[in-house]
Amino acid sequence: MFSAGFLSHKGSRGNAIGRPMQAGFAFSKLANRLASLTTLTADDLDLLADMPSTIAHLGTRQAVLRHGDDAAQCCLLLQGYLSWQDADSTEGQISSISVPGDIADLHTLYRPRVNGNLIALGPAIVVLVPHRFLHELSTRSPAMSRALVLMLLTDHAIQRNWTINLGSRDALTRVAHLLCEITTRLQNVGLANDFRLSSPFTQSDLAAACSISPVHANRTIQELRRCNLLQWQGKTMTITDWPGLVRLARFDPAYLGMRSSHGNSRPAHLGPVNANVEVA
């Protein structure tokens, strides 16, 4: 399915094949994401060190999974963004966006048949983890099992909120809410803490995610710029007035299920504004 190259690993405590640094990065990304959802001990997290994985470098618009596939592994996103897209939509309707630290297709652990297309929104790096390992992880650690279930429930909560976003908010509020959500999810895994991030999508992608036309998406971004809420230059987006964007979107991150005691205890909406540090 991939045209990109692969690097395989047997875990940081096994005989690694490839670059240990990337294997460790995969370990830390997943550990951080799971620990953001529930309390995990060092012994729980140490189980991830045996994670077998295959690292894949994806190009823009490259498919990870296609409608009708039977998945035997889950896709952990390390860098970039992935999106689920409607296989029957001629305009590529986007139904969800994954950020680094997410397991984009965790539901295939329980229902392997794929419904929709999982597509890279730009260059991305993913780790493919066999279902077998995740099932074994759940068996060996009740806390890890709970963390995976909570991750899946968070995915469902995000999906419900996307439904509300499309069904009851105007275009400006839809876009503002989506930007708040993406930024908060990035901050939850240690990215975009200074409100500057690699753009999650093109304006056409934004239109597909918010069910508006590309022209309307462009006008909406121009309005957010005019209100001094954000800057969007090339592939970099900077939110210049986070409290203002939160107010416009009426954004409440409670549905994301983040533990306030994980990492930075300050909620994202109380963080600093107008900082300018590039996020890779």
Residues of the chain scoring pLDDT < 70: 1-26, 89-91, 260-280
Sign of CA dihedral 173, 175, 179, 182: positive
Residue listed under structure tokens 């090339």: 234
What is the per-residue pLDDT for 51? 87
- Provide the token pair at 15: 């005989």
- Provide the token pair at 125: 């790096």
Contacts of 42 (CB under 8 A, 6+ apart): none
Residue 42, H or E segment: helix 42-46
Whether pTM exceeds 0.75: yes
d(CA 62, CA 210) in angstroms, rounded, equals 21
d(CA 148, CA 84) in angstroms, rounded, equals 19
Closest C-alpha among 150, 138, 142, 134 to residue 37: 150
Lay out the sheet containing 6-9: strands in order across. 6-9, 53-58, 124-130, 73-79
Dump pLDDT digits (tens) for 94-152: 989 999 999 999 999 999 999 999 999 999 999 999 999 999 999 999 999 999 999 99
What is the per-residue pLDDT for 62? 94
What count of Cα atoms within 13 Å lies in the side-chain half-sphere of residue 229? Answer: 22
Contacts of 270 (CB under 8 A, 6+ apart): none
DSSP 155-191: HHHHHHHHHHHHHHS-HHHHHHHHHHHHHHHHHHTT-
What is the per-residue pLDDT for 198? 87
What is the per-residue pLDDT for 132? 96
How far from the centroid of its chain's Cα atoms is residue 278's Cα?
18
What is the per-residue pLDDT for 24? 62
What is the per-residue pLDDT for 151? 94
What is the per-residue pLDDT for 273? 34
Torsion of CA 256, 260, 264, 269, to 10 degrees: 60
Question: What domains are defined for the chain?
Answer: 6-151 (2.60.120.10), 171-270 (1.10.10.10)
For the chain, the 3-state helix, strand and coil shares in percent, each to the nearest 5, are 45, 20, 40
